[in-house]
Amino acid sequence: MSFASVPLRARRFCRALSVVIACGTTSSLASAADVVPPTLVQDAAPLWPGSPADHDVVVPVLLTVRVDGSVARVEVVESRGADYDRAASVAAAEWRFRAATRDGVPVAARIRAEVRFTAPPAATAPSQSSAAPAAPVPPAPPPAAPAPQAAATPPPVAPASPAPAAPVEVVVEGTLQPPSRGASDYTTPIAELKRVPRKNASDLLKLAPGVYLTNEGGEGHAERIYLRGFDAREGQDVEASVDGIPINESGNLHGNGFADLHFIIPELVHSLRVLEGPFDPRQGNYAVAGSADYETGLTERGLSAKLTGGSYGTERALVLYGPPGQSMHTYAGAELYKTDGFGQNRDARHAAAMGQYEARSGKHTVFHLNGAAYTDDYHSAGLVRADDVASGRIGFYGTEDPRQGGDGSRLQAAADVQTRAGDFGFYQQFFAIRRGMRLRENFTGFLLDTQEAIQAPHAQRGDLFDSHVDETTLGARGFARTEGRALGQKQELEVGYFARGDHVDALRERVAAATGVPYKKDTDLHSDLADIGIYADAALRPSRTLTLRAGARADLFSYDVLDACAVQDVSLPSSSSPPGDASCLDQERGGAHREPDQRSSTASTKLMPRAALLLGPFSNFMFSLAWGQGVRSIDPSYVTQDVKTPFASVESEEGGVVFARSFDALSLVARSVFFRTHVDRDLVFSETQGRSVLGGGTTRTGWTGAVRLTNALIDENANVTLVRSAFDDTHLLVPYVPDIVVRSDTALGADLPFSPFGHTPHGSLAVGASYVGRRALPYGERSDTIFTLDGSAAVRYRAFELTLAVTNLLDTRYRLAEYDFVSNFPATPGAAPTLVPARHFAAGAPRMLFLSLSATFGAGDS
Amino acid sequence: MLRALLLCCSAFALGGCVGSTGGDLFEFDAFARGHAGASAPFVNGKGYTVALTRAHVRVGAVYLNRAVPTSVSSNTSCTLAGIYVAEVTSPLEVDALSPEPQPFAASGEATSDTARTGEVWLTGGDVNEPDDPTVILDVAGSVQRGGTSLPFEGRLSIGENRVAPTPPAEPGQRPICKERIVSPIVVDVAPVRGEKLALTIDPRSMFANVDFSELTLGDDGILHFDDDPNTATPASTNLYIGLRATSSVYAIGFEPGAPR
């Protein structure tokens, strides 16, 4: 894991500090420029809760302002009495802002403001009240009883009169991240897009351009990620983290860097940052295609419960809790889920729990404690041969081997602290992760169990892999950041480190189809892995419109690997060295004894420079150039004693432009990016290994366009990616990678035009549309195109919400994943084997309906 | 920049996809036939004039592989380590005296790579199952030498009768599948989409080293080939060797046919 995903809370911290500077306070510490706080465009005056007083009453509040400018949450900082507090909250919730921006991009923000109840002038005119958002927090005026003489006067609504004073503090949150590295640095607040049906947290990745997900391993199996021309497998080429805690599993036998995101409860994801390329010195191992960083948080405070029932016996129970009055980063949530699954052999069940507590000490220190637990169990249909489906031997939603499936678990705990002292900000995080995974997959049927001379004669016993991985990870990360002024501009410097140690036990056996017992041990590795890296990142601004962000990162990867099954053959079989059928063999050769195991250790370093040049903004346009190198460490099974570890190195460059503008309550962000990426050792899927193995060099070039449009009514996120990914030597296309990916997420919401029992219900519609072009497959083949629509409709009335979600709205029968390779699933026992490549696929889910009822108590909307 | 973008978008949108991973993957029809001259009398390597009246060969499957043939049996695996480029996995009882195409029941699959090695699987079912009484070769005819003509017939199977003893330290050294697979058959052919695979069997070559004088005359007045290697005469053994000969007996190629 690396700095690719600098902890979000650290970002919040730095961002908050920077805004303090931007707002002209006396603090000298700032981390990033280009942050503009929200500005009021429409207010609503508060109503006197009782009789107007003879002096102003000011209620200080903290407002959370969405990217569409609406107020998501009102927190009373200092009470002026329950009536005033309530009236102030009601008024402030109606205010509209021009959203805060960071580098010209609208972001959610939290600001201090005050609601002012203006006293009537000199006991003559009727009393009136006014709003004063974004005003300095004044010395708290003493609460006062309303003036008796005004008591009889109904409190009229006063025209808007925002106070002209500058804010004293603005805390931008929700889209907080390290400084932008260019046009491919996508930070996406989930906001109303949460209403688009999504199966899990992995699905949120589709909000970033060029992402396509497949899954042939079952509901509990991590999704295979295609990102902007990369086949990143299950995260091997995407550095993934949640709240700064690494998700990639070093040394995982199924894929070094395997990233199972299913433990993340989607409702607790507040925002997602996807950086498509190795352009940030904070990015570390596995950031080949890029990195994905989930920020968790719960904006809807109080206690929420949600029950879902749907097609194919799907049931889900979710509870969320966020103590009212506390930060959205203090929350707890848990879910139980089970499904019978569509088609054959797709049943699954899982449970997850996540919790976090945020505490403050003094003005500048924030602590977080968080933890997560997850467990799952599932079956998988795997891949089926297209010719078997065509012949009717297997149904479209059938399976070749019903023994496929798996289970897994994850426990993690982390703590971090962020503080500042003088001109420096500091951040420190510790994390501990315990992960277990079992996976049973059969890609090739009855093909790989060849007869060896030392084995008793046997027929093919079956190719079901039974892999098991146990991993314990301990790690820490931290940084210090400072800044100063030169050339009339703010200059910044950050240095940081990342340290991670993993102990991994990995075992893979093959299981006989007839008996269900393992007959061969392929791999039995026990690895101690370490990755320690340091980085430096500077932001140099020679002028107001030119920023050079440059830095470098260096990592040392060390391996100590015990292969407990290093000998699987007997060089000189004899009666004194009988081979038997065992897998891991000790033997006698020439009187010398040989144990079956072998230990290997090695270490290597990698230096990765990265830079981004930002120009602008010029009339709402920001231009950027970015370049960087990244790395993917190799699988422990490749480690040889004292042989330098071969890395997969990536070099990426791009040029892009971002247009960001707010039109009153409407904000628009549009991007266009041309990119090129080269990897010297790409991953190539191997059906015989059941995973990807190192292949040759590849280069991809392409273009991405993306749009985010938000206002109070609509939230639209759409993107298009065109890419060509080819091998360096043959210039042939890299198989399986989609060259066209189009995705649109749309959410609409408005109050309904009726108010039963005095309360207005809120309705919403959401649609997610995906199009994936015909993907290149081996042997000059092409896959089918994919077009799917998912939708939902919801009505919220007071504390209750009813949602109907439909996935695959058109009930398209499509192939989610397609592969060409050799397999042998004989139609009848003993039939001649199929040894020529054939088409295989994993079926996409048919139309499914889900009905959810949720209730929220305790704090209402925030 | 805008123009480049438009061109790029147009290429993707109109072409749908640009480039290829190379190669081809397709289905093809396949047939087998006997050699055109097989039904005519011929003189074998031992000087006998042989006239075949029946020659049926049970073909379980046909494969083509990219691997270059070697004379050394390098492993005990039933299949080659190389990449297979074509296969016909439906069985067929081939009348090797008929030059007419006899189609396999199911189509085959191929890539467009060039094959160097061919395999003919002589099996009635599971290639690994020792107990298989299926008759693989069924021949009959007459043989003449020195003015004497005698009928003969033989039915050879590859089952328990062909299981060879193995050393205890390497019990899997001689799997039965290796008896059933005729390999390597030298070929130099690249499957072509739209063409048909043709397996040509020349039963005359199976008799090349058969000395009919070694056969015993049955009470029925017919020379019989023995199917039991333990009691078989050299002539029976040589016919079995001829059945498994990798040259002269089997020829595999692709011929033009109706496009699929």
Cβ contact, residue pair B22, A730, below 8 Å: yes
**pLDDT reported for residue A278:** 95
Note the pLDDT tens digit of each residue in A281-298: 999 999 999 999 999 999
Q: Going by C-beta distance under 8 Å and a sequence separation of 6 or more, which residues neighbour residue A801?
A: A794, A795, A852, A853, A854, A855, A856
Which residues on chain B are in Cβ contact (under 8 Å) with A577? 169
Cβ contact, residue pair A450, B77, below 8 Å: yes
Is residue A577 a part of any domain in this protein? no
Where along chain B do its domains lie? 23-256
What is residue A204's three-state secondary structure? helix
Q: What does the pLDDT average to over B13-37?
A: 81
Q: How many CB atoms lie within 10 A of CB A586?
A: 13
Cα gap A233→B168, rounded to integer Å: 45
Is residue A228 a part of any domain in this protein? no
Cα gap A506→A256, rounded to integer Å: 11
Which residues on chain B are in Cβ contact (under 8 Å) with A724? 18-19
pLDDT greater than 60 at residue A168:
no
Fill in the DSSP letter of residue B226.
-
Question: Which chain B residue lies closest to A829 (C-alpha atoms)?
Answer: B126
Note the pLDDT tens digit of each residue in A110-147: 787 878 776 655 433 333 333 333 333 333 333 333 33
Answer yes or no: do A750 and A609 share one domain: yes
Count: domains in chain A? 2
Q: How many CB atoms lie within 10 A of CB A828?
A: 8
Fill in the DSSP letter of residue B243.
H
Answer yes or no: do A677 and A531 share one domain: yes
Cβ contact, residue pair A578, B87, below 8 Å: no
Note the pLDDT tens digit of each residue in A406-430: 999 999 999 999 998 888 889 999 9
**pLDDT reported for residue A647:** 76
Domain end (from A139, A171, A203): A171
Write out residues 776-835 of A within 8 Å (CB-CB) of B.
776-782, 785, 820, 822, 829-835
Cα gap A788→A408, rounded to integer Å: 29
Is residue A250 a part of any domain in this protein? no
Note the pLDDT tens digit of each residue in B98-140: 999 999 999 999 999 999 999 999 999 889 888 899 999 999 9
Give, in order, the Cα–Cα distances in Å from A253 to each of A371, A517, A680, A819, A830.
25, 20, 22, 21, 32
pLDDT greater than 60 at residue A457:
yes
| Residue of B17, B83, B129 to mutate, interface with A, max A Cβ within 10 Å | B17
Q: Tell me phi and psi for residue A43, to 5 degrees.
A: -125, 170
Is residue A27 a part of any domain in this protein? no
What is residue A459's three-state secondary structure? coil
Is residue A219 a part of any domain in this protein? no
Note the pLDDT tens digit of each residue in A39-72: 777 666 666 666 666 667 777 788 888 777 778 7
Cα gap A239→A228, rounded to integer Å: 14
Is residue A349 a part of any domain in this protein? yes
- Quote ipTM for the complex: 0.90
Is the entire prediction scored with pTM above 0.95? no
Q: Are B164 and B178 in contact (CB under 8 A)?
A: no
Answer yes or no: do A565 and A714 share one domain: yes
Question: Cβ of A771 under 8 Å from any chain B Cβ?
Answer: no
Is residue A272 a part of any domain in this protein? no
Cα gap A174→A295, rounded to integer Å: 8
Cβ contact, residue pair B112, A452, below 8 Å: no
Q: Tell me phi and psi for residue A742, to 5 degrees.
A: -125, 135
**Segment among A316-320, A605-609, A633-637 with least mean pLDDT:** A633-637
Domain end (from A145, A171, A197): A171
A-B contacts (CB, under 8 Å): 152
Q: Are A108 and A67 in contact (CB under 8 A)?
A: yes
Cβ contact, residue pair A774, B17, below 8 Å: yes
**pLDDT reported for residue A95:** 81
Nearest neighbour of A457 by CB, restricted to B24, B112, B171: B171
**pLDDT reported for residue A162:** 38
Answer yes or no: do A710 and A848 share one domain: yes
**pLDDT reported for residue A357:** 96
Cα gap A180→A673, rounded to integer Å: 14
Q: Going by C-beta distance under 8 Å and a sequence separation of 6 or more, which residues neighbour residue A6?
A: A177, A178, A244, A282, A293, A427, A479, A496
Give, in order, the Cα–Cα distances in Å from B72 to each of A651, B13, B68, B128.
46, 53, 12, 21
**pLDDT reported for residue A188:** 86
Q: Which of A724, A726, A675, A738 is nearest to A697 (CA)?
A: A726
Cα gap A647→A645, rounded to integer Å: 6
Domain end (from A119, A148, A171): A171
Query: A109 lies in which domain range?
Result: 38-171
Residue A426 maps to which CATH number?
2.40.170.20
Cα gap A184→A677, rounded to integer Å: 13
The alpha carbon of residue B244 is apart from the nearest alpha carbon of chain A, in Å, by 18
Q: Are A279 and A182 in contact (CB under 8 A)?
A: yes
Q: Are A823 and A838 in contact (CB under 8 A)?
A: yes
**pLDDT reported for residue B215:** 92
Is residue A319 a part of any domain in this protein? yes
Note the pLDDT tens digit of each residue in A519-562: 999 999 999 999 999 999 999 999 989 999 999 999 999 999 99
Write out residues 737-766 of A within 8 Å (CB-CB) of B.
739-740
**Segment among A170-184, A681-695, B198-212 with least mean pLDDT:** A170-184
Q: Are A162 and A133 in contact (CB under 8 A)?
A: yes
Q: Which of A721, A817, A786, A783 is nearest to A228 (CA)?
A: A721
**pLDDT reported for residue B22:** 81
Length of chain A: 862
Percent over 70 (pLDDT), chain A: 83
**pLDDT reported for residue A33:** 40
Cβ contact, residue pair B76, A450, below 8 Å: yes
Cα gap B252→B260, rounded to integer Å: 20
Question: Cβ of A730 under 8 Å from any chain B Cβ?
Answer: yes
Question: Which chain B residue lies closest to A727 (C-alpha atoms)?
Answer: B21
**pLDDT reported for residue A393:** 94
Question: What type of residue sits at position A10?
Answer: A
Note the pLDDT tens digit of each residue in A734-753: 999 999 999 999 999 999 99
Mean pLDDT, rounded, of chain A: 84
Q: Are A498 and A533 in contact (CB under 8 A)?
A: yes
Radius of gyration of chain B (CA): 23
Cβ contact, residue pair A834, B176, below 8 Å: no
Q: Are A660 and A709 in contact (CB under 8 A)?
A: no
The alpha carbon of residue A731 is apart from the nearest alpha carbon of chain B, in Å, by 9
Cα gap B257→B31, rounded to integer Å: 11
Q: Which of A252, A72, A233, A99 is nearest to A664 (CA)?
A: A99
